């Protein structure tokens, strides 16, 4: 490995995130973001992805039913 420090230190990962803090992240940030920006009222359902600013990427291709079933089965 090149560079100084290991990848975990460089990315400042914390493997001990509590369920309380992850639940708070989910309910206070992620769900409101996806239910607002991620919802596609024109086509129905949710967009496939958000960009790095949290805006819906409406140009991203949406998977068909077979693709969704394969993804859910992983």
Q: What pLDDT, on the 0 to 100 scale, is given for residue 17?
A: 65
Per-residue pLDDT tens over the stretch 24-57: 888 888 899 989 999 988 888 888 888 888 899 8
Tokens of 19: 């369920």
Tokens of 73: 């089965």
Is residue 21 helix, strand or coil?
Answer: helix
Confidence class for position 8, pLDDT limits 50, 70, 90: very low
CA atoms within 13 A on the CB side of 74: 5
For the chain, the domains span: 19-72
Give 38: exposed, middle or buried? Use CB within 10 Å, 0-12, 13-18, 19+. buried
pLDDT, averaged across the chain? 74
Provide the whole-model pTM: 0.51
Q: What pLDDT, on the 0 to 100 scale, is given for residue 37?
A: 92
């Amino acid at each position: 490995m090149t560079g100084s420090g290991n990848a975990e230190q460089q990315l400042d990962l914390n493997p001990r995130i509590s369920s309380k803090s992850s639940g708070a992240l989910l309910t206070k940030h992620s769900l409101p973001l996806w239910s607002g920006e991620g919802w596609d009222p024109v086509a129905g359902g949710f967009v496939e992805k958000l960009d790095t600013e949290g805006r819906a990427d409406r140009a991203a291709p949406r998977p068909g039913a077979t693709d969704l079933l394969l993804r859910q089965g992983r």
